Amino acid sequence: MIIEIFNTIVKTTIAFSISLLIARILGKKQMSHSTFFNYITGITIGSIVANMTLESNTYFIKGVVSLLCWCLLTSIIGFICLKSVKLRVILDGEPTIIIKKGEIIEKALYSTQLNLDDLSMMLRNKDIFSIKEVEYAILEPDGKLSVLKKQEEKEVTKKDMSIVTTSHMYIPTELVVDGKLLEHNLKELNLTKEWLYTQLKNSGINSIKQAFYIEIQSDGTLYIQKKGV
Summarised one tens digit per residue, pLDDT across range 158-191 is: 777 776 666 678 888 889 888 889 898 899 899 9
Q: What is the mean pLDDT of residues 74-98?
A: 78
Q: How many Å apart are CA 58 and CA 207, to the nearest integer?
A: 59
Q: Among candidates 76, 61, 90, 99, which has minimal Cα distance to 26?
A: 76
Give the chain's mean pLDDT.
Answer: 80
CA angle 38, 43, 47 (to 5 degrees): 145
pLDDT at 26: 67
Report yes or no: 34 and 88 within 8 Å, Cβ to Cβ: no
Q: Of all helices (H) and strands (E), which one includes residue 142?
A: none
Q: Which pTM was predicted?
A: 0.58
A 10 A CB-CB count for 33 gives: 16
Residue type, 45: I
Q: What percent of the chain has pLDDT over 70?
A: 83
pLDDT band for position 58 (cuts 50, 70, 90): low
The pLDDT value recorded for residue 72 is 82
With b for 16 or more beta-carbon neighbours within 10 A and e for fewer, the 125-135 pattern comes to eeebeeeebbb
User: 138 falls in which pLDDT band (50, 70, 90)?
Assistant: very high
Average pLDDT (75-79) is 79
Q: What is the mean pLDDT of residues 41-62?
A: 74
Sign of CA dihedral 153, 154, 159, 161: positive
Is the per-residue pLDDT at 33 higher than 70? Answer: no
Residue 95's pLDDT band, with cuts at 50, 70 and 90, is confident
What confidence tier does 124 reach under pLDDT thresholds 50, 70, 90?
very high
Q: Give bridge partners of residue 96 from the DSSP assignment.
A: 139
Return the pLDDT at 132: 84
